[in-house]
Structure 1
Amino acid sequence: MMSRFSFNNGECLRLDGSAYRISQVIDGSVQLTSFDNASITVRNIDELLARFADGQLKFLDENELSIGQRDLEQSRTIQRGLADFPDKIQRLALRRYKLLHEICPDGRLTIPRVALPGMLRSVWEKMEPAIRGERPPCVASFYLWRRSWLRAKFDVRALIDRWESRGQKPKPIPERLAELIDEGIERIFLTPQRESLSETMDWIQFEIEKENQRRAPEDALPSVSRRMLKRAVARIDRYAILKARFGERYAREAIRVYKKGPICTRPLERVEVDNTPLDILVIDSSTGLLLGRPWITAMIDAYSRMVVGIHISFRKPNALTVLRCLKHAVLPKNYVNDRFKTVNGEWKAYGLIHQLVCDNGLEFHARDVDMACADLGIHVIYCPTRSPQMKGRIERFLKTLNYGLVHLQPGTTFANYEKRHAYDSEAKAVVTLEALHEIVHRWVIDIYSVTYHRGILTTPQQKWDEGIAKFPPKLPPSIDIVNIYLGESKKRVLTKNGIEVNSLQYASPALENLRRRCGDIEVTVRGDPDNLGTIFVLDEEARQYVEAKCTLPEYAEGITAEQHSWMLRKARKDYTTSPFRHALLAAKSALREDTTTLIEEGNSTTTKRKGKAKVKRPKANRVQRELMVQHEETRPELPLEPEPDEDNSPNSEPDDQDEYVDVPLFPTKRAPISRGIPEQGSA
């Protein structure tokens, strides 16, 4: 039975962090005297009862009235009960309590001392055999129990023996030996080298031997024992030991008690994001070659634990992967049943996010991510460094995804190399990237979303449905807004050919209007990496984005940037092995050889003329040069077969053409001219 208190003179209590003693009770009012400055305060009993019911008032016993307890404001604590002690101690305390309660329930002993032994035996015989013991207690022991019970105000814990203090007390050690032990612990044990107790004991023993060389034999210090050293280490605070040996951060994490995270009241109020490599090897669908471990970026709703967005790719985390995952989280997921026929459920998570919680990775600090979230009204919250517990929901989900799904697939790499044992991940790998997408979608929609979650006491899907019934998700005005703000941003120059992005040409009447007003300028281009058919170009004068379509819509519409890049690489690879490329290289080589021959012939002609008088050639005027150029351009093409010689037979018709023929300003293809170039003035 615990101690009992009332608002009587002499009782002590703690109120508003200060200790008081009740000095007087008059007509429903209580006069309180402070232990700190002896000031007197008068309170109404009804007010004190209300404060007691609210947990703001606590009665104090004699042990709690010590100076240390009285000066410091204590948190709400409760002493241990009888059930917290060992069974043997419980039986002894119950035996004494039953004897006292049967003989003197109110503490007053009404029977004479000579009759007490018989009373004790009669009560002892009525007890249960499990607690009464072998024989009844003596009168002296009964009086000692009664005195302790009355002093503790009928608290049953006063009847418990001080069993924790049993055993022989350790003998005091010499003061100098205690100093050497403390010095050894500080210099050897409490260091970042993390040396063992054995090394510490060896150092202490060496110092003891050095000390004994300066002492008389009768004053020699005893040797240090391991038990003596452990007892000295046990007196040091555990946080101080961990901080000295492992660092402050490790010590702080080792003693930390994690509390519940921020409480959310509606869906999408707080969404946590993180990325991790999946523990599985993926192969190419066409060649079967290993492609490696893909990365996943995932977002989870803190209110419902519903997965709102994912993105899987082989690219290491960057700003583009975060934006793609964010786009997947915002937009409705109507593609699931059309793309993945094996998925039975629906992925209902969508909508704009209020707070996006992430760590301090470079991909989350990218300017494109900050600007995109600001445009969509999303507040980005960065957790402190090395504090994964600040976004524990997404950390736990990614672990559940790897352990609950990925590790069960063929080709898994498990969590680490040690857990693989004899499993050959490369030989077992059969999952393609598209198959991995389908597996993850099936698991998220048909398994994870409908599994009971102890953190929310329901399933994520049910919690999401309950939340959006009161707070429907919000969407941007159009999907073009999402494509622009969450797309890839680049700088390009607007030319007569439009805009070139990813080796594709884009044009539109809006671009023609922009070029007519501004000329060839550098513009900001935003595009959707999942659809290269359309881009948006910023018109700074109009302060808005204008649309531009690809000039190859049948190719670019619906194709992703990764697919387009793969096609370009494949086209270049196929061209290197095609016969057209070999013919092209042969033609270039032949042309280069012919050019070299012409240069050598020209050099030989120049060499023959050396030593002769330099002949000054007359320069043709502008009209003559133009006539010669047009004459060269109007020469017929070389025939495929050699033409026969001129027909000099008598039946041949005479050539009735003039000796000189005028060359038109814009020549057309006609019969070959066999005459020379007319001289100046002969037109």
Structure 2
Amino acid sequence: MHDINQPTGVLPDAFTINSTFKIDDQLMMYKGDLGDDALNIIDVKSGKMLYVTNPETGLKTVANRVWLLHTIAKGALEMVSSDVSKHPRVADDLRELDLEELKALDPMAPARVGLLFLLASEGIVSNDPALGGHIKRIWSAKFTSYGLCPATSTVRTWLRRTDPERPQLADLVSMTGRVDRPKRLDPEVTRIVEDKAVWYWLDRGRKIEDAFSAAVAAVKETNIERKAKGLEVLKAPSRETIRREVRGIESRSMWVQKFGETAAKRHWDAARGSITAKRALEIVQIDDTVLDCIACVDAEHRLPANRPYLCIAICVATRCIVGWVLSFSPPTASTVAECLRRMGTDKFDLSPEWIERYPVLREIAGKPSVLYSDNGKNYIAISTVEVLRDLGITVRRAPIGAPKSKANVESFFPTLKKWLLEKLPGHTLDPKTLRELNLNPEVRAVLLIEELEALIQEFINTYHISLHSGIGTQPAAAWLRSIKAHGRLMLDVRKLNILTWLTEHNRRLTTGGIRFKGLTYRSTREVNELLEANLPGETMKSRLKGTAACNVQIKYNPENLRSILVRNRQTAAYVEVPCLQQRYADGLTLHQHEQLQEWAKNRNLEFNSEEERILARHNLNLFIEATIPGMTGRQRRAVARFTEGSISKAERHEAEIAHTEATSSGMGPVLEQDDAAAERTDAETPICMPASGKVAQGGSHDSDTREIQDVDPDFGSDDDLWQSPPDDDLNFEEDYA
């Protein structure tokens, strides 16, 4: 502490240029005399000129000699050694520079001054709730040429740095990179922060929060030791400090330690060249992904169909989507085949409004020269490779673990998610967010599959007519110019169907058509043609008795059950047979159909269980066996003739059951009983034996030489006898012979 008691009006000798002192623990620096007793005193922390309040007027004025001497007289001023490090704001005396030099030093400084001046002129202060809106309004009107609008927190920092009513250019010059910033962390804390940042990169499961917690714990342990030694307690670092240190040492080698070589290669290594094309359909990239939404398949019950898979094919030259498939089962070779099928045919299913305004949208289709894909199982399958070879399409594979090589199709998926999927009901988030928001996407899934497909098609149409930053024009316009200049080839869809549809052998074809997967496929002309061609070669064993039938080979598309292909044995060609339930089967995948069948089964179980139905059938069998126990079919017919013959119900008597006591020999006495008849009435009737010889071996009924016996009228009429149905097999053999 220096002796500063001096005569009134004269400053102490200790007050020299750049001398520092404290007033109420606030560090100040004396920069010189401004004239008229005004003093240039700087607040070291903020770098602003000090203004004091006049007790008589209540207005703020520049600190003057009278105020300073009065403060000294009260003992509120403490001189500080001049060796104290200067604050970065006053390291260079910017006030000694002229206006042009300050502008050259920081071109943004005039914009800061102008912004603060306009805020002050409108009476807007730093704690104004609408400060952010005022900043954007003024900046967009006056200072857009200086770049982006500053953040509200940044402007509040500027307001603290200078006098808001009289902002000084020197106070608002950025000092970033011009002076050394003071270290705010203790060296021991800095060492802990650096250690925990390295610790974060040593294990895959460690998060920023884990490194932050470990650093706080380490500082706490250090403080225990320092307290024991009587040292000052250290302040723990913030989470942001840990995050910046972690990101500051991020490198490829750190990624290898934490995530492995494959992940580091994908994240750090540049793409191996670029895939470019000069004309439409020269190269088509194909890929699939799981969509972040849940659709419904049953309009009546709103049953969720889980998350759908989307397969997309995009033209590299024009960025047009030439084909896409939505399915609810993991992608297979059939999915690729269906995407090729849609890729190779014009889009006739678009709405008339789109076709009328943009006819080119219907023509975004054709045969690609090169199909570029990753190494997924559905793309490297032998069936897929052979189909592409037969169609004359070259196959190219992306390097393993290098998704950047097919960036065109990969970048489309985030675009679809951002502009469509996130706006849909049933959109799925990560599990943590779902728990926080108490959301269940299956409950919110109110879209039908048809609605989801329509929305995706609408989005693709809009995408085709929007400007694409990668090619500088609309994809549809680029496609139109390309096909006018180079033309396009189309796929033979019928050949593709035969090559790609799945095969089923020994399916039964009858006059009623073909039953397959619970659906009926029939067309009168096609069925008649196939029966005439396939029936002559059918074996006798596999034929049916009551109708023309034969076993045939069929092909079906698991991505669309609207029709099947049936093979003609004579011509070896395939005939298309449609499903009778076209409204149901058109566009329906096998997976969806099986789900509907399962749900229908579950709905039936709500009435009664399968176990209950099986038990009911078993009880019926027991009732039959108890009614006529141990009898063959012939015996049951005899009972039927006996019970339903000429004997009237009035003449029938219930049998009486009698018991007798057993003897030691195990035999009881004979009970008296009434005979049913005194003598047999059919004693003279010849016994009717089964046919033998040629008839028994399958011969004609005409060869039976037995005489037809007269029926005893007392036994009953012909109507009372049980008669078996006609033998269709024998009739067929008779006619066929």
Scaled by the length of structure 1, the TM-score of the pair is 0.51
Partner of 1:674: 712
CA deviation string 1:606-653 (max 9, x = no partner): xxxxxxxxxxxxxxxxxxxxxx99x999x898699875659xxxxxxx
Q: Is 1:317 aligned to 2:345, yes or no? A: no
Match of 2:499 among 485, 491, 509: 485
Structure 1 residues 279 and 577, CA gap change in structure 2 (3 angstroms): closer
Q: Is 1:334 aligned to 2:348, yes or no? A: yes
Matched AA of 2:623: E
Alpha-carbon distance between aligned partners in 2 of 1:237 and 1:661, rounded to the nearest angstrom: 105
Q: Is 1:292 aligned to 2:335, yes or no? A: no
Matched AA of 1:527: Y
Structure 1 residues 271 and 197, CA gap change in structure 2 (3 angstroms): same
Q: Is 1:377 aligned to 2:417, yes or no? A: no
Identity of aligned residues (%): 20
Matched AA of 1:310: W
The 3-state SS of whatever aligns with 2:484 is helix
Quote how far apart the aligned CAs of 1:549 are. Answer: 3.4
Partner of 1:111: none
Matched AA of 2:370: Q
Alpha-carbon distance between aligned partners in 1 of 2:532 and 2:267, rounded to the nearest angstrom: 65
Match of 2:577 among 537, 542, 549: 549
Alpha-carbon distance between aligned partners in 2 of 1:589 and 1:234, rounded to the nearest angstrom: 75
Counterparts of residues 571-650 of structure 1 (less than 5 Å): 589-595=619-625, 598-599=628-629, 643=646
Say whether the 8 Å CA contact 1:550–1:556 is kept in structure 2. Answer: no
Structure 1 residues 437 and 672, CA gap change in structure 2 (3 angstroms): farther
Alpha-carbon distance between aligned partners in 2 of 1:574 and 1:248, rounded to the nearest angstrom: 51
Alpha-carbon distance between aligned partners in 2 of 1:583 and 1:425, rounded to the nearest angstrom: 36
Quote how far apart the aligned CAs of 1:263 are. Answer: 1.2
Match of 1:249 among 262, 268, 291: 262
The 3-state SS of whatever aligns with 2:323 is strand
Say whether the 8 Å CA contact 1:491–1:522 is kept in structure 2. Answer: no
Partner of 1:275: 288
Quote how far apart the aligned CAs of 1:242 are. Answer: 4.1
Matched AA of 2:711: I
Counterparts of residues 408-427 of structure 1 (less than 5 Å): 408-414=423-429, 417-418=432-433, 421=437, 425-427=441-443
CA deviation string 1:356-396 (max 9, x = no partner): 22222222233332232222222232222222111111111
CA deviation string 1:165-210 (max 9, x = no partner): 999xxxxxxxxxxxxxxxx99x98996688989999x99xxxxxxx
Structure 1 residues 265 and 575, CA gap change in structure 2 (3 angstroms): same
Alpha-carbon distance between aligned partners in 1 of 2:305 and 2:441, rounded to the nearest angstrom: 13
Quote how far apart the aligned CAs of 1:450 are. Answer: 1.1
Q: Is 1:526 aligned to 2:555, yes or no? A: yes
Alpha-carbon distance between aligned partners in 1 of 2:641 and 2:374, rounded to the nearest angstrom: 73
Structure 1 residues 675 and 421, CA gap change in structure 2 (3 angstroms): closer
CA RMSD of aligned residues (A): 6.2
Quote how far apart the aligned CAs of 1:434 are. Answer: 1.4
Match of 2:322 among 296, 305, 308: 308
Matched AA of 2:565: I
The 3-state SS of whatever aligns with 1:412 is coil
CA deviation string 1:472-522 (max 9, x = no partner): 221134x422332342x1241266759764355775645654564586899
Partner of 1:472: 487
Counterparts of residues 560-575 of structure 1 (less than 5 Å): 560=588, 562=590, 565=594
Partner of 2:368: 353
Say whether the 8 Å CA contact 2:562–2:582 is kept in structure 1. Answer: no
Say whether the 8 Å CA contact 1:484–1:528 is kept in structure 2. Answer: no
Counterparts of residues 129-140 of structure 1 (less than 5 Å): none
Alpha-carbon distance between aligned partners in 1 of 2:325 and 2:420, rounded to the nearest angstrom: 16
Q: Is 1:265 aligned to 2:278, yes or no? A: yes
Quote how far apart the aligned CAs of 1:466 are. Answer: 1.0
Match of 1:458 among 473, 488, 502: 473
Structure 1 residues 189 and 368, CA gap change in structure 2 (3 angstroms): closer
Match of 2:567 among 537, 541, 562: 537
Partner of 2:448: 432
The 3-state SS of whatever aligns with 1:363 is helix
Unaligned runs of 5+ in 2: 1-99, 106-176, 181-194, 219-236, 238-245, 543-549, 650-683, 692-700, 716-737
Unaligned runs of 5+ in 1: 1-127, 134-163, 168-183, 204-225, 227-232, 603-627, 647-657, 678-683
Matched AA of 2:625: T
Matched AA of 1:545: A
Counterparts of residues 72-151 of structure 1 (less than 5 Å): none
The 3-state SS of whatever aligns with 1:464 is helix
Matched AA of 1:594: I
Alpha-carbon distance between aligned partners in 2 of 1:198 and 1:410, rounded to the nearest angstrom: 38
Alpha-carbon distance between aligned partners in 1 of 2:616 and 2:418, rounded to the nearest angstrom: 58
Aligned residues: 451
Quote how far apart the aligned CAs of 1:348 are. Answer: 2.9
Partner of 1:367: 382
Structure 1 residues 287 and 304, CA gap change in structure 2 (3 angstroms): same
Structure 1 residues 538 and 337, CA gap change in structure 2 (3 angstroms): same
Counterparts of residues 213-224 of structure 1 (less than 5 Å): none
Partner of 1:441: 457
Say whether the 8 Å CA contact 1:484–1:527 is kept in structure 2. Answer: no
Quote how far apart the aligned CAs of 1:441 are. Answer: 1.2
Say whether the 8 Å CA contact 1:190–1:245 is kept in structure 2. Answer: yes
CA deviation string 1:83-125 (max 9, x = no partner): xxxxxxxxxxxxxxxxxxxxxxxxxxxxxxxxxxxxxxxxxxx
Alpha-carbon distance between aligned partners in 2 of 1:516 and 1:601, rounded to the nearest angstrom: 42
The 3-state SS of whatever aligns with 1:336 is coil
Counterparts of residues 160-175 of structure 1 (less than 5 Å): none
Alpha-carbon distance between aligned partners in 1 of 2:392 and 2:305, rounded to the nearest angstrom: 38
Quote how far apart the aligned CAs of 1:264 are. Answer: 0.3
Say whether the 8 Å CA contact 1:383–1:390 is kept in structure 2. Answer: yes
Alpha-carbon distance between aligned partners in 2 of 1:408 and 1:476, rounded to the nearest angstrom: 36
Quote how far apart the aligned CAs of 1:307 are. Answer: 1.0
Matched AA of 2:712: S
The 3-state SS of whatever aligns with 1:272 is strand
Alpha-carbon distance between aligned partners in 2 of 1:298 and 1:473, rounded to the nearest angstrom: 20
Say whether the 8 Å CA contact 2:290–2:308 is kept in structure 1. Answer: yes
